[in-house]
Structure 1
Amino acid sequence: MTDFNEKELEGLFQTLVDADKFSGVVLVAKEDEIIFEKAYGYACKNFEVPNQLDTKFNIGSLNKVITKIAILQL
């Protein structure tokens, strides 16, 4: 991502949220600096509780994949 466009990224994720295809938190970092972070969608759709930047997500079996990727990046 050479030319970071915050509005374009927000629009992309909002389109996915509106189509009920994404709910979560997005973080973009360059080197050690966070350049974008935003929560989208609902933590609990039934009660319309919105996601927050500190929302805890159940990732189930994904943690093995995430751990593997983290190890490979070392």
Structure 2
Amino acid sequence: MSNHGGRQLDGTVSPLRVLPAIVKASPSVPVMIDSGFRRGTDVLKALALGAAFVFIGRPFNYAAAVAGEVGVRKGHHAAAR
């Protein structure tokens, strides 16, 4: 589930708010979420609410913009610790 582009809409529901209902409605399907996660605590919240996987792209995009492939590799190793 994702709300990419949702920030331009006034009445969009937060994916974290509806995540538990989606997980409950599809117990045999691993629910993956992608919605601008920036911090580890955001990922933990999504996992606690039932997500099986949380995509995090923005921090890696920032690392690539600043330091290219080296920045992404360095950020990946820091996240793995």
- TM above 0.5, yes or no, is no
TM-score normalised to the size of structure 2?
Answer: 0.28
- Which is bigger in relative contact order (C-alpha 8 A, separation at least 6)? 2
TM-score normalised to the size of structure 1?
Answer: 0.29
Q: Which of the two has greater helix per residue? A: 2
Q: Which of the two has greater strand per residue? A: 1
